[in-house]
Chains A and B, each alone.
Chain A
């Protein structure tokens, strides 16, 4: 909201600069976005003048050469282009040196050869109104030479305020004046509605009926006759302009002025167009429509509140009027409405209709019913003063009893203030602050009894709310700087959190950078990955209101994010890309799924007994995954390695091994594919016999969909990894009894996997065989077609003795015979 300081000063005028006021307001809870200047600068150069003579310009039909009295007997020759300029007029004059609202500086000039020192001003040139039809004619009583600023608000600072939704009272000049008074202790004038020239009682010929009392706590009408529609006086136009409202005509300007001053929107009906003289407030009927002022026909429903007369609906209550009952130039009788509407309902209506107006934005924050009559009082005064109108005896006032219920007192105990703030504030100081804010306080032994003013009724209802009021005005900069006493509080990461950091560090150590992808994906992603409909990863969560089709569902696999990220990088010229992500995937729950939530917070929460279990049953299953995707060279090209190895199956298996071995997770792989993987270069990752994820080179057709020629990666379920990690390793003696190392080369058929060989080897080796690793593979003439030779390094050892050659020999013989029997393996060399 825009607050012209010149207007604020009518009610409260603290002795501080605009920027000091702004920072004081900011520190007491009214945020100031910025300070603007409205109108002219170098205001001294703007004065009142009188046109002594106006002659036609010798060389230009449309220009007049005027001699203007500028005070103390001085005159100035001014060339003026306005058609309405004439001798005898009192006018506004800008003298050389003046700075116009748009920033241009006025100098002496020659217009078609005639000297002109200054300018006779039109309204728009002063940013008072939009009128540029002619110059502005001022009151003839004014003395030439009088500074224009004494007569017209031609220059003011304007604070652009950001009002929080709980303070609709501050969407008004007087409301902010109250805050300024509280924040600075500068005196506050009595409210401008204190005197009301209107009266209560029935209004002859008119009536109102409220059928939807729950949506309309108060509905008031006043009737004005002999209304003369015309432009508003410059002071009113200037204020509205400075506050960002375009002046229109006196009656409409009055409703806007009252709204800006009090916060209460008003609506002016042309009384003679109100059919039947009766206005009814009711819910719309199913299927009903209404054409609003903006010419749009709008479908309504029973939650929309309407105002209608005998001829049908005229406006959507609290949101927008209809064209039929608007005030026009020929209006002579005005029915002025000020009503209170149900805030949430107004918000719902304006959201549903996609129609937000200045009025709806205020009503939706719930105004108090009392404000309606405050607005009527000021409007009445202005209608009489500015439109020559006569207020008709009486006020139609339909007031729901609930809205005016007396509110209780709230206790504010001294110790509560100290308990919440950590510092005691003397009771008298609390009372003084609350009084400045419009609260009534009474001493009550241990503290204060506080009565809340009507404009804060919705916002301040509890002791804590009062503490906030006191604290913000008292000054948050005076708070103590302390730390909590932290009884029994020990800060530490849990095991899963420590492991996750370790995992991230290992992967970055392996040369992979961490990506954070979008949780969102396009619904086509399962299809692009070749996933079957029955695949759980096709069970994505769909958003009801996505921002775009491409981001309308949630990912069920990190692969889709990583593919997107690799593509982005390649498109930008980064060809060797090694990325990992540790993030969440989301799978829609099926009716048969357990209700227990297994999200990333599972380690913090025992899902089985969680009070949230019932609510969680409707949530998708969230799991943390760790995935990596590599493409291009593993290492940069260098003079020593002109052709570094490319990211392939074994390269990512190496990264996987680094990760799982670092966490001390026992794991193995088993040849098996996924629809998106190379059928011959892919595997399942098994941890403790559980399927923990996939590993492999991506299928060329699939990565082709992301403009990638080849890539390899893996994806792991983090919970499975973390549960299998050995977090507290137990010491094993490695010095007392040295191990025996031996190599073995065995030739097996090509279709026997390394893992099968090692499996047999381990079972034959027994517990004395501590380690067995394949360190070379040979295929070729020497071993024969369809066969491979595996070189394996064996390590034998025992915890309690040094093994004898004989013991090792027995084990080795057993290994050799087992390999021969089970796998047809032959010892080589």
Chain B
């Protein structure tokens, strides 16, 4: 048999063996048999040098080519087998996909007051306001006098306000920071002041502590129309783009004119809900009171005139809203006391 015939024979046998291998082990066996140290092809390659010179070139070339060919076939077969073996293994690895998930640590929630506070802050940040805070235990000067409350105003009564001493009290609103902020910063001033406030009151709609956000804008040309626009923007951001607001004249010692602000009801049509009954949110009036506001009273500027607040040059608006009230309206919470129970079943519904 010529060398070339021998190569043909080897190719035929080796290919058959590779194809026939049904497992990695059988394939390895085929490799050893046909390409291993003692196999026919390596022997033949080793013996090329002893062939007549005329054959040496062609046989050597053909043998090398065959070796490469077989190595490639082995590799292909190897990966086919591995794939088949993996498929077989995966086919038996079946789980009950309906079992509960392996729980990651469930995320906690921000308190509804904090979530609402951030929502309000973000709206006013977008309108160019900054955020400031102030002390909760406050001097009566900042809580009342500097805000133009006369000395006999009923809010000063010990029945309404918590006192620590004659001059020191728990602030009843966030408004004292209006005066503090104006003492520190010359106009223009655009500020909101979120924070905890205290009043001697306790029932389903009053808790002795609650949260407010105060707003203050002082500049050379602030008008009541600007307050109207600012609060319209706010009301739409919180309660929906179709909302309208209306201003009703009111009385606060530190603003003039003073207004109460209503937002159009988002819970009903013309005062009635779907089942035809009167809307519980607006009580059929189609308006919901959300905050108090007004133009900064010139008397308040007089208290801080030395810090750059000339009432003839500057005007300003101020507003104050209850965060819990905004949250209750928006989320349908009916009892204010829930905010301070901190029951996880309540907390986890929001934030």
Contacts and interface: CB of A to CB of B under 8 A. Distances in A.
Interface string A557-590: 0000000010011001010011110011010000
Contact of B257 (A347, A471, A620): A471
B127 A483 contact: yes
A87 interface: no
A47 B138 CA distance: 65
Given A543-B162, A638-B102, A513 B223 contact: no
Interface stretch (A312-320, A500-508, A796-804, A814-822): A500-508
A141 B113 CA distance: 70
A194 to B, nearest CB: 29
A465 B256 contact: yes
B247 A479 contact: yes
Contact of B167 (A26, A565, A618): A618
B128 interface: yes
Contacts of A717: none
Contact of A541 (B106, B137, B154, B315): B137
Contacts of A489: 128-129, 188, 190
Nearest to B184: A605
A517 B340 contact: yes
B221 to A, nearest CB: 7
Contact of A635 (B105, B137, B183): B105
A580 B114 CA distance: 13
Contact of B130 (A492, A519, A545): A492
Interface in B92-146: 99-100, 102-103, 105-111, 113-114, 118, 121, 124-139, 141-142
Given A164-B251, A516-B342, A547-B202, A616 B135 contact: yes
A515 B135 contact: no
Interface stretch (B16-24, B38-46, B63-71, B343-351): B343-351
A476 B251 contact: no
A420 B190 contact: no
A638 B103 contact: yes
A511 B108 contact: yes
A580 B131 CA distance: 23
A17 interface: no
A471 B111 contact: no
A421 B163 CA distance: 38
A7 B150 CA distance: 34
A224 B259 CA distance: 47
Given A508-B107, A513-B109, A519-B209, A584 B125 contact: no
A514 B209 CA distance: 17
Contacts of A543: 162-164, 170
A616 B232 contact: no
A615 interface: yes
Nearest to B104: A635
A419 B313 CA distance: 10
A165 B154 contact: yes
Most chain A C-beta atoms within 10 Å of own C-beta, residue among B250, B297, B343: B343
A601 B129 CA distance: 16
Nearest to B150: A344
Most chain B C-beta atoms within 10 Å of own C-beta, residue among A483, A487, A622, A640: A483
A351 interface: yes
Contacts of A403: none
A520 interface: yes
A619 B127 CA distance: 33
Nearest to B344: A574
A493 B131 contact: yes
Nearest to B218: A484
A628 to B, nearest CB: 10
Contacts of B200: 545, 547
A28 B188 CA distance: 31
A509 B107 contact: yes
Contact of B226 (A484, A491, A519, A568): A484
A613 to B, nearest CB: 10
Given A513-B108, A519-B136, A464 B295 contact: yes
A513 B348 contact: yes
Contacts of B142: 612, 615
Contact of B342 (A167, A467, A519, A579): A579
A541 B168 CA distance: 11
B232 to A, nearest CB: 6
Interface of B: 99-100, 102-103, 105-111, 113-114, 118, 121, 124-139, 141-142, 150-154, 157-159, 162-165, 167-168, 170, 177, 180-181, 183-184, 188, 190, 195-196, 198, 200, 202, 208-209, 217, 219, 221-226, 228-230, 232-233, 246-251, 256-259, 295, 297-298, 307, 315, 339-345, 347-348, 351
Given A484-B190, A484-B219, A635-B103, 13 more contacts: A351-B159, A484-B222, A485-B221, A491-B127, A509-B108, A514-B108, A519-B170, A543-B162, A547-B200, A574-B343, A599-B136, A601-B177, A639-B100
5 contacts: A351-B159, A421-B225, A513-B347, A514-B347, A612-B139
User: 5 nearest interchain CB pairs?
Assistant: A422-B225, A422-B223, A29-B249, A344-B152, A468-B257
